[in-house]
């Protein structure tokens, strides 16, 4: 038996030590857009208070899998899912589940900063308002902005339109806005890809701080970023029918230093992608 076969014989899903608690579990997830299958048989567990990175070449379905976790795929006409996505052991796709309530527990930050064209204050307060938050809004705005490491830069101009902030500040505002709804999980879809290196660095620092309070899943094209911020990395690949699938899932250090699969090694060493 040669080494390639041995690697492929290994289980694709990394066996996690007992002490880490699973918060989200995907099992045999297939996702379709119309007749096109975008994701094939994805199974993985996401662990609480850890940062999990999804990496892989374009079209490998990593963003699609991410959006299936807070049912943002529902927004795309013709999308359909098979298999199960469980959050704290609740099936997120059960017929009596309200996607609106899921999104209040599983927040999302997008690729391009997308603050509302309202004041900084109103951006933070919006989510809390529609949630019927009855507490102190000033305090909520301050804590959220502090958690997103933005308070010192904006505390004197909370009434200013958020669109006047720089790209990096806008993205941290979007993170603050997500935190304000008090989710348990934050999904980040390439949150730094539209930002310059300095702003990217601040987002990465922020992710490391936030993992104490939240579970974070981040999709990234930047392998350096995945290795810097994440505890676990899932490498997605695309098959000959352009379907995405999970190739390898392991603790980040192991996946980058000692990948079990040949394709993973080729991808992280930059042979394709």
Partner 1 sequence: MIQHVGNHPFGKKHRPHEVVIETLLFLFALFSILITVGIAFILVRESFLFFADPDVDLLGFLTGKVWQPMIGLFGFLPLLNATLTTSLIAMLLGIPLGLFVAIYLAEYASDRVRGFLKPTLEVLAGIPTIVYGYFALTFMTPLLRSLFGESRVDIYNTASAGLVIGILVLPMIATMAEDAITSVPKDLRLAAYALGGTSIETTFKVVIPAALSGLSATFLLALSRAIGETMVVALAAGAGPNLTANPFKAAETITGYIVRISGGDVSYNSVDYNSIFALGLVLFVITFTLNLVSRKISGLFHQEYD
187 in Cβ contact with 107 (< 8 Å)? yes
Residue-wise DSSP of 199-212: HHHHHHHHHHHHTT
Residues 55-74 binding partner 1 (CB under 8 A) are 70, 72
**Pattern 87-126, partner 1, x by CB under 8 A:** -------------xx-xx--xx-x-x-xxxxx-------x
130 binds partner 1 (CB under 8 A): yes
Strand partners, 22: 47
What sign results for the dihedral spanned by CA atoms 146, 151, 155, 157? negative
We find the least distance from the C-beta atom of residue 33 to partner 1, in angstroms, to be 16
Q: Which is nearer to partner 1, 106 or 260 (CB)?
A: 106
| Out of 1, 75, 94, 198, the residue judged to bind partner 1 by CB under 8 A | 75
**Pattern 148-177, partner 1, x by CB under 8 A:** ---------------x----------x--x
Could you tell me which of 224, 118, 214 has the C-alpha nearest to residue 165? 118
257 binds partner 1 (CB under 8 A): no
> What DSSP element (H or E) covers 84?
strand 79-87
165 in Cβ contact with 173 (< 8 Å)? yes
| Out of 52, 178, 200, 264, the residue judged to bind partner 1 by CB under 8 A | 178
| Out of 127, 168, 191, 244, the residue judged to bind partner 1 by CB under 8 A | 127
Residue-wise DSSP of 24-80: EEEEEEEEEETTEEEEEEEEEEEETT-EEEEE-STTSSHHHHHHHHTTGGGGSTTEE
Per CB under 8 A, residues contacting partner 1 are 70, 72, 75, 100-101, 103-104, 107-108, 110, 112, 114-118, 126-127, 130-131, 163, 174, 177-178, 181
């Amino acid at each position: 038996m040669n080494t390639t076969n041995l690697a492929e014989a290994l289980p694709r899903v990394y066996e996690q030590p007992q002490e880490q608690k699973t918060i989200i579990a995907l099992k045999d997830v297939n996702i379709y857009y119309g007749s096109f299958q975008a994701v094939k048989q994805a199974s993985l567990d996401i662990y609480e208070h850890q940062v999990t990175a999804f990496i892989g070449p374009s079209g490998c379905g990593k963003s699609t899998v991410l959006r299936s976790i807070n049912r943002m795929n529902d927004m795309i006409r013709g999308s359909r899912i098979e298999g199960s996505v469980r959050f704290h052991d609740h099936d997120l796709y059960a017929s009596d589940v309200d996607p609106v309530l899921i999104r209040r527990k599983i927040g999302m930050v997008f690729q391009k900063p997308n603050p509302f064209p309202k004041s900084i204050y109103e951006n933070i307060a919006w989510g809390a308002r529609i949630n019927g938050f009855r507490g102190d809004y000033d305090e909520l705005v301050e804590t959220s902005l502090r958690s997103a490491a933005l308070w010192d830069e904006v505390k004197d101009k909370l009434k200013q339109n958020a669109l006047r902030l720089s790209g990096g500040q806008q993205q941290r505002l979007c993170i603050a806005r997500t935190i304000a709804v008090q989710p348990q999980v934050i999904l980040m879809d390439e949150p730094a890809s539209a930002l310059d290196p300095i702003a990217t660095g601040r987002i990465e620092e922020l992710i490391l701080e936030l993992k104490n309070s939240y579970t974070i899943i981040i999709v990234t094209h930047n392998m350096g970023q995945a290795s810097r911020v994440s505890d676990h990395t899932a490498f997605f690949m695309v098959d000959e029918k352009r379907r995405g699938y999970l190739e390898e899932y392991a603790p980040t250090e192991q996946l980058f230093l000692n990948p079990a699969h040949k394709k993973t090694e080729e991808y992280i060493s930059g042979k394709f992608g």
